[in-house]
Amino acid sequence: MSRIILKKLIVQGISFRRTIEFNEGFTIISGEKTSGKSLILSLIDYCLGKGSKIDLTVQKELDAYCDQVYLETLINNENITFNRALKKNFEKIKLYFCPFVKIDEFTPKIVSLKEAMNIIMQKLSINEYKLIRHKQHSTEKEIDVVSFRDIFRYVYIHQHDLGTDNFLENNSTFKANKNPHAFKMMFNLIEVDKDTLNEKMVEVQNKISEAKREIVGLKSYLKDRDVDDPFTLQFKIEKVEKEINNRKKEKGDVVKNSKSNENKENQMYIKLKKDIENISNQVFNIQKEEKSLNLSISSKMLLLEEYEVELTEIEETLNVNYKLVISDQILECPLCNSQIRHNHTSKDSPKSIETEMILQKARKEIESKKTLVSGLMETEKKKVIQLNNEISSLNQRREIFDEAIKVFSKKTEVPFLSQIETLNSIINRLTRDLEILKESMRIYHKVEEKEALVISLGIEEEKLKGKLAALQVKGADKDKIFSFLDREYRQFMTRLKYDFLEDTYISRESFIPYYNGASVYAHESGGLLESMQLSYLGAILNSKEAGFAEGHPGLLLLDSISKYVGTLKKENQEINIVEGSVKNQVRDPEVYEEFYKILVELGEHHQIILVENTPPTQFDEIYTKYTFYNGEHGLIDEEANEIKD
């Protein structure tokens, strides 16, 4: 199944970071009111393209501690981490094609909200759908796009919409008009014409060509920087990181034991001088070897020139031997100018043929020598390049130590300050070298990202070819889809104690659920509406498992399902007051528990994240990942801060 799995949500500021991890199945986030539970779902929504920003005048703790939010996801087994700023540049999203822990090694793709949604659609292999609609208060028409955000209404159900007639944001005419089309996109029920598919096909093929050209350019850049082996580059990065850590540890030891390290300054200076001397010796030896190789290359070039002269002479001799026919020449006596006969052999005589064979053999031998000498020259040239790279690397290290010596030699009245400054100088220089290496690694990952894009575009191209072969959805296939949806929907409603199933179905025209002949927007009972809505969403998820709803991301985010059926009292906790009446606090605990059983079942094949104040104990103990409390122990909990330094 094509699906989105949410791995982690990370809120971060200059000196604060907290990571919230999710189960791949069913996750409960519980706790007190205003402790930040619902904020988690809002931040997920924000990272996945919500148009409006997070209101930081309400979320004061978030405003005080954080300015970035990250969402690590797995989309069809590909890691994508979404990053969005909380206080500026709200209209942009950064995409890192890696887990959160590796984002330093990757270059982000910075895109608009619309472009980010297109990328998600592409990763889920869902084609965009365009609508022609009338402009508001005008007779003119415009094209509107049904995007991932429209499908996401079937994923994230806000606490103020569940159990109300604003389900799927129906009270917004603009969004409500898109819902049927989003449903059809999820179930591949959209009928398109041949020209539209061909246009999309050309667009996909052009994107593939563009990505391949970019891959060639990036690989060429890496080759020019002599870092075309990612394993060698990773080894260099680890080596520099290890050296930086060692220097930091050494600096820590100097600070810690400064009183007892009276002669460490001198030892450090001696060590630096010795390091510089060793590097100089290495450079001298390498330059000596390079000089010898260059001399050898020069001599081989002269030898090649001599071979070239010999080869030219042989070629000329062969040409003369081929063109000159002695029997056709007239010989004259040098004394009397009378013509005489001669007995020279013709070109076809055995002696002439033997001569030509000798010349041909000599030519081949010279050509073989040229090839051998040229091969040896190329090997030596490569060795010279390798030696030059080694010299360059050693010179960089020598510059670091030279700079450290300069800092060390400064006079200071503070004991060991020069030693610390020397170490800082080395650390800073090594850090710059590390960043250069990491930049090359980011380019490697960009190549991998482009190669993955080519693969996903290839899959999209094959799907378009399949759609061209079968342009319209057959009526029998549509009946099969809705028969399955109706069956699943009724089964869930029965489990929730609603037995009037004769006129209980999902409409073939509006694609919304009905119970006892009335739609989900017509009923007034909050408990019934909530049951209809959860049964409907559960039926869609099960249909994805059965291979029908391919365009649904296989994810469900719910907020406070106890609103209209009541909640359960836990030990040592006050009863949650619902609608201001004590008698309504536990109105239907059996239905409430059945909700959880259904969510647990759905969580076997899909990711379900539920925010709830006080879930039933038997589910709380197994599935609750976090429990938040008001004040200092909510989402922004200083004790959970991961930035300790």
Confidence of residue 576 (pLDDT cuts 50, 70, 90): very low
Span 598-613, average pLDDT: 94
Whether the model pTM is above 0.85: no
* Domain definitions of the chain by residue range: 262-415
Range among 328-332, 405-409, 463-467, 581-585 with highest mean pLDDT value:
463-467
Give the pLDDT score at 284: 77
Give the pLDDT score at 241: 83
Span 566-578, average pLDDT: 46
Give the pLDDT score at 581: 38
Question: Is 502's pLDDT higher than 90?
Answer: no
| Window from 212-221, 260-269, 530-539, 600-609 with minimum mean pLDDT | 260-269
Give the pLDDT score at 530: 92
Q: Which residues pair with 96 in a beta bridge?
A: 81
3-state secondary structure of 635: coil
The conformation of residue 414, written as its DSSP 8-state character, comes to S
Question: Phi and psi for 187 in degrees, rounded to 5?
Answer: -105, 10
Higher pLDDT, 218 or 529: 529
Give the pLDDT score at 324: 53
Q: What is the pLDDT of residues 153-165, one digit of tens each?
A: 999 999 889 989 9
Question: Is 222's pLDDT higher than 50?
Answer: yes
472 touches 191 (CB < 8 A) = yes
Q: Mean of the per-residue pLDDT values for the chain?
A: 80
185 touches 129 (CB < 8 A) = yes
125 touches 550 (CB < 8 A) = yes
Q: Which amino acid, residue 601?
A: E
Higher pLDDT, 219 or 493: 493
Q: What is the pLDDT of residues 394-451, one digit of tens each?
A: 877 777 777 766 666 554 444 466 667 777 778 887 888 778 777 777 777 788 778 8
Give the pLDDT score at 333: 63
Higher pLDDT, 342 or 369: 369
Span 198-221, average pLDDT: 77
3-state secondary structure of 361: helix
Give the pLDDT score at 431: 82
Question: Is 328's pLDDT higher than 80?
Answer: no
